[in-house]
A and B are shown apart, each in its own frame.
Chain A
């Protein structure tokens, strides 16, 4: 039956994460926004201690339960993730993204790797010092058009040799330079066959021939490092091509990693929700302190502009949340959710941009000041309309699905 009550398990997790966000993230949020390239080492170590060895991998199979019988409590894994990600982002979106974690790189390995690869690359997240994994797709000349990447992978004996430049790689610096992590690099083995030639390769920290050449200065999510990588005759073992040998012959690699987006888009939407809610909570408190109430049941002709704006913000945020929960719920139930994943990402990115921008307007001089976190949340929010598929790309995906068009027919 249609039900909007969160299970006790998830609600308890949410409360715990919320407490952690409030007590450990909010107090350092402003500092790591101002000191953009500093490392919140103590906090990272604390988070690593909490999440190490847990199931916090979004996308693909969890390593802990590999081979074990699926137990009932795991049937809400993606929904649970969406809820906890919202809380962490409510704390601070940049810090959330900077958590030592398998991340998008780990998600790619979990989705497209062989069992041996999953063990080889993901076991490190169960022990030792904090580690990061990242995904490197975007290039200076190829963003939304990810099939147009030009980084190459050429077979040479027992190795692949990678060449190319990647930009906008989240946690790329921490993955390669600050930990025993790895980056999953998309490269083409044969430009002439287009998409079919694109595969995913794991480049581990310490591999000669890969360098972090720049860490971006950004509008927001400043606590998260966004790296530029240059690969110059970077040699990696043959076994670092994600997927079995069969992958070389088919489009499986590309499709497999693209499929992770069905899981990661709701996760990014969930992060957006957290930022939006932070802003809504803040505005709500400020209005309450000023003695302003929102008269939900007043007729439209009597609503003040402020009430209208606030109600619109609430509705947009909740709509984005319900679409996100739906996409996650579908994932948990093994339902094909590409349409719903793109819907929730498109809506969440847009909603949180609108909510946070409007919140700054409503709060006037307070909203605009760096004395408060509201202006930072507006800056943090904007990226959600852009990464993990821009709003326009997600609309494109939704459009193709509802119209039944291929990417050739509608682009």
Chain B
């Protein structure tokens, strides 16, 4: 039966993350963007929320919670609202954990997952995107070739979060049977981590380019199968993060508009500004509902490719428009780094670019 109300449990989880987001993450956003550094203590606090451990089975040291796309959507929205860089840093280990959870063998699960259930933050990541304008998840240029019982990886990757500190990097490559992911432990020969990337946004998140040259891993490191559901979950998560960023921008602009005076009154009382804000509010709600619908379908075990792709594309467009409008509402003040809206815009533009992040 149609309903738009999360369960009580989901509301509790969302509220807990929202509190943490407001009290701890958001105050650290500007400094993380300026310095490129997120305080270890904050990362550790985020770890204690259990974002990574929750879906890992109890037998392997995790909390054994159900991995629901809807719950992820609620959580990702709050984290995205607080700060995208810090959110992705905290969620990054899921990039290694979730594909193994979903498609990995028992041996792989037992070998890798316990490392992400300890008391301290454990960095893990995945290398998906490639440094070319026409990057296509369905046509990776990174290759995986079988050789004497091993697999040799070759190619370039970019936008790999936390690569320099990650215990495991899941490298997505095109094998003989199609798309697969390979568990590459830290220090494996043939994988070289480049200098930290400099991007328009996500400046608080340490991301890297990787070169794979004759990078040899055992055949047992391969995770093969149907990645459709995983990528759809990723699309939904990205769309939810985008809703969060957009909501942050909207609220900032709305509050500013009620305060800032021009021509004798608060600018929020002028139609041009008021209408922009109204459209922003509508589009944020619309995107959230499209995203929830895709998430709901995923949770029912149905193929949600169409809905997830539509939601992701809609969200990418929406967050750009909303964050752009938020800068506009603040006028000159939106352009300076005293205010967060320019940061929201730089981060917001990224959603049209990011793909294949299995953070949900």
| Interface residues in chain A, defined as those with a beta carbon under 8 Å from any beta carbon in chain B | 1-7, 76, 79, 296-302, 311-312, 314-315, 318-320, 322-323, 325-326, 329-330, 343, 346-347, 392, 395-396, 398-400, 402-405, 409-410
Evaluate contact between B314 and A319: CB separation under 8 angstroms: yes
List the interface of chain B (C-beta within 8 A of A). 1-7, 10, 70, 133-138, 231, 254, 257-258, 268-269, 271, 274-275, 277-279, 281-282, 285-287, 289-290, 292-293, 295-297, 305-306, 309-311, 313-314, 316, 352, 355
CB-defined contacts of A5 to chain B, threshold 8 Å: 1-2
Flag if A399 contacts B138 (CB, 8 Å).
Answer: no
A/B interface sample: 6 pairs, CB < 8 A? A300-B313, A318-B310, A326-B289, A347-B286, A410-B268, A410-B271
Contact assessment for B2 and A79 in the assembled complex, using a CB-CB cutoff below 8 Å: yes
Supposing A4-B296, A318-B290 touch, asked if A396 and B274 sit within 8 A by C-beta, the answer is yes
- Contact between A311 and B258, CB atoms less than 8 A apart: no
Which residues of B are found within 8 Å of A79, using beta-carbon distances? 2
Q: Which of B133, B258, B290 meets A404, CB within 8 Å?
A: B258
| Shortest beta-carbon distance from B67 to chain A in Å | 16
Chain A interface mostly: helix
For A299, give its contact among B4, B136, B254, B306 (CB under 8 Å).
B136
The complex places the Cα of A323 from the Cα of B254 at a distance, in Å, of 21
A1 contacts B277, C-beta separation under 8 Å: no
Is there an interface contact between B278 and A402, defined as CB atoms closer than 8 Å?
Answer: yes
A2 to B7, CA, bound (A): 7
Q: How far apart are the CA atoms of A299 and B7 in the complex, in Å? A: 34
Residue of B nearest to A321 (CB): B289
Cβ contact of A319, chosen from B5, B134, B286, B295, cutoff 8 A: B286
- CB of A302 within 8 A of CB of B277, answer no
**Interface contact A398-B289, CB-CB below 8 Å:** no
Closest to A405 in B: B269
Which of chain A's residues have a CB closer than 8 A to the CB of B5? 1-2
Instruction: Establish whether residues A2 and B135, one from each chain, have CB atoms under 8 Å apart when the complex forms.
Output: no
CA distance A6 to B293 in the complex (A): 12
A85 to chain B, nearest CB (A): 15
A301 to B136, CA, bound (A): 9
Best-buried of B4, B282, B292, B309 by chain A (most CB within 10 Å):
B282
Chain B residues within 8 Å of A318, by CB = 290, 293, 310
Q: Report yes or no: B138 in contact with A323, Cβ–Cβ below 8 A.
A: no
Rounded to whole angstroms, the CA-CA distance of A296 and B313 in the bound complex is: 10
The chain A residue with its CB closest to the CB of B273 is: A399
Which B residues lie within 8 Å of A405 (CB)?
Answer: 268-269, 274
Q: Specify the chain B residue showing the minimal Cβ separation from A404.
A: B258
B4 touching A410, Cβ below 8 Å: no
Most A-side CB within 10 Å, residue of B135, B137, B269, B297: B269
Most central of B70, B231, B313, B355 by chain A CB within 10 Å: B313
Complex contact A315–B290 (CB within 8 A): yes
| Chain A residues closer than 8 Å to B313, beta-carbon distance | 300, 311, 315
Quick one: given A299-B134, A314-B310, are A410 and B274 in contact (CB under 8 Å)? yes
Query: Are B268 and A403 in contact, CB atoms less than 8 angstroms apart?
Result: yes
In the bound complex, residues from chain B placing their C-beta under 8 Å from that of A4 are 2, 292-293, 296-297
Q: How far in angstroms is the closest Cβ of chain A from B77? A: 13
With a cutoff of 8 Å between Cβ atoms, the chain A residues found around residue B282 in the complex are 323, 343, 346-347, 398
Determine whether the beta carbon of A395 is less than 8 Å from that of B1. Answer: no
In whole angstroms, what is the CA distance A224 to B108 when docked? 66
In the complex, the answer to whether B3 meets A323 with C-beta atoms within 8 Å is no
Min Cβ gap A356→B in Å is 19
**CA–CA, A139 and B257, complex, Å:** 35
Question: Bound state CA distance, A300 and B312, in angstroms?
Answer: 11
- Once the chains bind, are A395 and B279 in contact (CB under 8 Å)? yes
A3 touches B296 (CB 8 A): yes
- Selected contact of A329 from candidates B3, B138, B293, B314, CB within 8 Å: B3
Task: Report the bound CA distance from A399 to B313 in whole Å.
Answer: 26
Query: A329 touching B134 by the CB < 8 A rule?
Result: no
B289 touches A322 (CB 8 A): yes
CB-CB under 8 A from A398, the residues of chain B are: 278, 281-282
Residue in chain B with minimal CB distance to A318: B290
Instruction: Provide the residues of chain A in CB contact with B136, threshold 8 Å.
Output: 298-299, 301-302
Given contacts A3-B296, A315-B313, A403-B274, contact A409 B3 (CB under 8 A): no
Given A315-B310, A403-B268, A76–B274 Cβ distance below 8 Å? no
Contacts of B10 in A (CB 8 A): 1-2
CB distance from B26 to the nearest CB of A (A): 21
CA distance A325 to B289 in the complex (A): 10
Since A3-B3, A299-B355 are in contact, a sample of 15 more A-B pairs with Cβ atoms closer than 8 Å, ordered by chain A residue number, is A1-B70, A2-B3, A3-B2, A298-B138, A299-B135, A300-B313, A312-B314, A319-B286, A319-B314, A322-B289, A323-B282, A326-B289, A392-B275, A395-B278, A399-B277
**Nearest B residue to A3, CB-CB:** B3
Shortest distance from the beta carbon of B169 to any chain A beta carbon, whole Å: 23
A404 proximity list for chain B (CB < 8 A): 258
